[in-house]
Amino acid sequence: MEKLVKALEAAMAEDIKQLPWMSAETKVEARKKLDSIRDKIGYPEKWRDYSKLEVKRDDLLGNADRNLLFEEKRNLAKLGKPVDEREWGMTPPTVNAYYNPPQNDINFPAGILQPPFFDNSMDPAVNFGGIGVVIGHEMTHGFDDQGSKYDLNGNVRVWWTPEDLAKFKERTECTAKEYDGFEVAPGQKLNGHLTLGENTADNGGIRIAYQALMETIAKGGGPGAGFYGGKKDGYTPAQRFFISFGQVWCQNATEQSARVLAKTDPHSSGEWRVEGHGAELRGVRKGFWMQGRAADGCGQRLPHLVARSASDELRRNEGERLRERLERRPWRRFGPLLWVGGEVRSKMAPGLCGGGFAGLPCLTLSRRASVCNIHCRGDA
């Protein structure tokens, strides 16, 4: 995990260096901030003491009340004392990650360091497409529309030149307008400004994660064990990267929930977190079965890895190959597989996401999804 973080930091440093629109003066400040980011991985250096918190198995409401009181006392005890920069805002079992602007640190609890985000036994492409993109996402938060307001020490300070700041705002406005056009339910579109910070982090994260993967493969002499003829399980490193990325955002949501979240959630829906990323990676699409559609929005991005107009024959052929691979593998953990209506399902765990790579029972190649935007489907 530490090697992944260092690879992503090196990729972002190179990305900052190559930015054509940013001045040398602002690049120096950006690099200083990047170099100052603290990496918190797994668990805190100092464990929180819960010995004074009373927990009873038969008193749910009482436990909740005592926990609130415990947290209130713990926070009040911090008054007048120096900020503990070692403290975490999440517990180790939490399946999440975050960037903290005032402390300029990225945090990855142990809970997220498991499939489908991370598996130390898998090849680099899978891990860079999973936790690698998450690492890049959190790092990019330090330079998004909100994080960019903080300097390397976590102080609110304008460290951009006025000209660069104007160019930055022009580009973020472009991103906001494009996401305004993404539909999550009939007649309901995303709010590009509400989701701007997360969309910026998503786009930056996948960009530098892919760059880090390519650099890792180049320096390491290859994509890892198990590759024959440039492929593993029938996929190239680039394809495995994007399939791993798409798998992370498997989700089920009712139309009503999707409408509410589009108005309240600063994150885009899973579908558009996969398909809404930038066109900087358009060359990678050539490694898939079909190229994406022409650029749209501000003319800088290609939202789809594979055109939605892909033929039924293409979908059928690729789906059949995926089904055959799945049937050859011992998915004892998830039980027997079903092949229903062109979708691979699990009898024991319908709609389950997690636990490995692009062979999970929940994977499906649906009519409305790209090869990399793989959705989970529950049994009908």
pLDDT for 224 equals 87
- Is position 311 within any domain? yes
Write the secondary structure of 311-325 as one string of H (helix), E (strand) and C (coil): CHHHHHHHHHHHHHH
Q: What is the pLDDT of residue 252?
A: 87
Task: Based on the fold, state whether residues 283 and 313 are members of the same structural domain.
Answer: no
Single-letter code of the amino acid located at 185? A
From the candidates 9, 15, 105, 138, which is the catalytic residue? 138
Amino acid sitting at position 101: P
SS3 for 85?
Answer: coil
Nearest to 325 by CA among 352, 363, 273: 363
**Cβ(32)–Cβ(152) below 8 Å:** yes
Q: Helical H runs in the chain?
A: 2-18, 24-36, 60-76, 124-127, 133-141, 162-179, 196-220, 237-248, 255-264, 270-275, 312-327
Co-location of 155 and 229 in the same domain: yes
Residues 106 and 141 in one domain: yes
**Domain housing 78:** 47-83
Is 32 part of a structural domain of the chain? yes
Asked whether the beta carbons of 128 and 213 are under 8 A apart, the reply is yes
Q: Is residue 347 within 8 Å of residue 335, measured between CB atoms?
A: yes
> How high is the pLDDT of residue 363?
33
Tens-place pLDDT, residues 317-359: 555 555 555 555 443 333 333 333 333 333 333 333 333 333 3
Per-residue pLDDT reduced to its tens digit, 63-77: 999 999 999 999 999
**Least confident interval from 98-102, 294-298, 309-313:** 309-313
Task: Please state the pTM of the whole predicted model.
Answer: 0.76
Residue at token pair 């930038």: 278
Residue burial 273-290, b: 16+ Cβ < 10 Å; e: rest:
bbbbbbbbbeebbeebeb
Alpha-helical (H) ranges within 249-364 are: 255-264, 270-275, 312-327
Strand, coil or helix: 99:
strand
Q: Is 58 a catalytic residue?
A: no
Structural domain contains residue 270: yes
Which residue in 29, 123, 144, 202 is the catalytic one?
A: 202
Q: 78 has which bridge partners? A: none
Residue 39 sits in the same domain as residue 53? no
In this structure, are 234 and 323 located in the same domain?
A: no
> Residue 298 falls within a domain, yes or no?
no
Rounded to an integer, what distance in angstroms lies between the CA atom of residue 143 and that of residue 149? Answer: 8
Asked whether residue 221 falls in the same domain as residue 313, the answer is: no
Among 232, 255, 287, residue at a domain's last position: 287
Same-domain pairing of 222 and 319: no
Q: pLDDT > 90: what percent of the chain?
A: 65
146: part of which helix (H) or strand (E)? Answer: none
pLDDT in the model for residue 68: 97
CB atoms within 10 A of CB 28: 11
In a domain, 101, yes or no: yes
In a domain, 380, yes or no: yes
Q: Into how many domains does the chain fold?
A: 3
Query: Is 202 an active-site residue?
Result: yes
Whether residue 97 is contained in a domain is answered as yes
Whether residues 255 and 326 share a domain: the answer is no
Please return the burial class of 300, using the count of CB atoms within 10 Å of its CB with bins 0-12, 13-18 and 19+. Answer: middle
Domain edge (last residue) among 21, 55, 83: 83
Same domain, 134 and 279: yes
**pLDDT interval class at 100 (50, 70, 90):** very high
Residues 317, 363, 331, 352, Cα dihedral to 10°: -160
The verdict on residue 354 lying in a domain is: yes
Q: Domain ends where: 83, 104, 138?
A: 83
What is the tens place of the pLDDT at every residue in 227-274?
998 999 999 999 899 889 988 988 888 999 999 999 999 999 998 998
Residues 274 and 311 in one domain: no
Is the domain of 313 the same as that of 334? yes
Q: What is the CATH number of the domain that holds 258?
A: 3.40.390.10
Residues 33 and 134 in one domain: yes
